[in-house]
Structure 1
C-alpha cells in the first residue's frame, strides 16, 4: 500500500508540476497582451503557454502594476518577469545577476501628437502625457532638467483626451499599443500620430529571471526551434508590421 501511494504521488507530481510565478503587467497592452482584471491573455500568454506545454511545466501568471514588477523580481516574489528589457530602470538592476532571454518581439516607444501638431520641434513640448506606471525613457534628460513636466493618466482613454484637448503637448507610449487603443476606444487608429522627429526609444521584449538561468537558456533554444510558431503568433496578434522603424 505504501509503495502504491509513493508511486501515485510521484506520478501526480509529474502530472501537476509546481508552477513558476510569472509577473506580468496588469494593464491592457494589446496587441502584446492584456493583464486587466486579474487575467492574462494575448501574444505573451500564448507564447509562454506554448513553451510550457512543450516542456511539461506550468506558469502561474501574476498581474501587477508595472512599477512593482522589477522590485518583485529582485526580491524573489516572482520567478520570471515578462516583458523585460535590460535597459529599463538600469540603475535598479545594478548588483543583481539577471538572466535575459533572446529578443522575442520588438517595440517602439514614441511621442504621439494630434496630426495638426506633427513636425513641431521637441523644444515646444512642455507637458508630456503618459499612462500611469510607464517610464518615458527617451525624455529622461529634459524631464530631469525641468524643461518637460510629466502628466500621468489612469488609462489610454484619459491620455488621448488630454492630448486631443491640448492639456498635454504630446503623449508617450508604445506606438503599436497606441494605435490599437485608439482604434478600440475612438474608432480610428490615427487619432494621434507617431512623430519620429521627437524623442523615441526602441528595443525588444524578453523573458527574465534571477533564479532560473537554465530555463531561460532552454527558452532560447525553444524560440530558435519554433521560429515559425513565433511568427504565426506575431502575425495573429498584428505584431509583424510595426508603425515606424524599430531601430
Structure 2
C-alpha cells in the first residue's frame, strides 16, 4: 500500500483539472469570462493558491449560468465554484456531488434604494437579478406572478436601475453592490431591506469525480485561514457578521 499512494499522487500531477466557473463579472467575489478567464478576484486567487500549492495542473472554464447544474454532464468539468446545495433542487444527489466545507459565508437578502429601506416582502413588485441567477427567496412569488422578475447581464446595470428606481429590489450580493456603488461615488445609496427575510448561505467547491481533492481542499482552507482573511481584506469582502 505504501507503494501505491505515491504513485497515485504522481499520477494526479499529470491530470489537467477543469474548474467550471460562471461566465459573469461578479467582482469582487469572482470575475470570469471566456475571453479573459484569469481575472483577479477572491475566487480566482483562492483556487489558484490551492491548485498551485498542490502542484496540480488546472484551468478555469467560464460557462453560461443557465442550467449550470448540467455542467458536469454537458461540459465534462471536474469542479465547480461557487456551488451550493440550495441552488440544486435535489441537493446534488442525482450527480453524486461532493461539496467542500464552506469557503465564504454570504447573506441572501433583498437590497433596495435607501429611500425604500422599510419595504416589506409583499410590497415588492419588481425584482432585478443577474441573468439566469437563481432567486431562491423569491421563487414562490415569481411563480405566482406577484413579483415581476427582470434580468441584466452585469451587476453595474442592476445597481444603476436601482439608483434611478426603475425597479424596487435586487438579490445580488452586498459585496458586489458595495463595489459598484463605490465606483459610481454612490456609497450607501442601496441598503439591505431588513423587514424582508434574509439568511446566510455559503460558497463551496464541488465535484462528482474527485472527492479526495475536495478533502485536500478542506484541509487547505482549514490551514490557510490567514490567507483567506488576507484575500477578504484585499477585495474588501465582508461576511454577514462583519457588516
* RMSD over equivalenced CA pairs, Å: 2.3
Normalising by structure 1, we get a TM-score of 0.85
Q: 1:204 maps to what in 2?
A: 202
SS at match of 1:218: helix
Structure 1 runs not aligned, ≥5 long: 1-12
SS at match of 2:50: helix
Q: Is the 8 A contact 2:26 2:155 kept in 1?
A: no
SS at match of 2:94: coil
Q: Give CA-to-partner distance per residue, 1:180-206, whole Å, 9 cap, x none.
A: 12222x122323211122243421111
Greater Cα radius of gyration, structure 1 or 2:
1
Q: 1:70 maps to what in 2?
A: 69
Q: CA separation of 1:154/1:142 partners in 2, compared to 1, >3 Å: closer, same or farther?
A: same
- Number of residues of Structure 1 aligned to a counterpart in Structure 2: 232
Q: CA separation of 1:62/1:96 partners in 2, compared to 1, >3 Å: closer, same or farther?
A: same
Normalising by structure 2, we get a TM-score of 0.86
Answering whether residue 98 of structure 2 is matched by residue 129 of structure 1, we say: no
Q: 2:18 maps to what in 1?
A: 21
Q: CA separation of 1:92/1:233 partners in 2, compared to 1, >3 Å: closer, same or farther?
A: closer
Report the CA distance between 1:38 and its aligned residue: 3.0
Structure 2 runs not aligned, ≥5 long: 1-9
Report which stretch shifted further, 36-45 or 206-215: 36-45
Q: CA separation of 1:199/1:153 partners in 2, compared to 1, >3 Å: closer, same or farther?
A: farther
Report the CA distance between 1:82 and its aligned residue: 0.4
Q: CA separation of 1:164/1:235 partners in 2, compared to 1, >3 Å: closer, same or farther?
A: closer
> For residues 147 and 219 of structure 2, what CA distance do their matches in structure 1 show?
43
Q: 2:115 maps to what in 1?
A: 116
> For residues 166 and 228 of structure 1, what CA distance do their matches in structure 2 show?
40
> For residues 122 and 61 of structure 1, what CA distance do their matches in structure 2 show?
38
Q: Is the 8 A contact 2:100 2:214 kept in 1?
A: yes
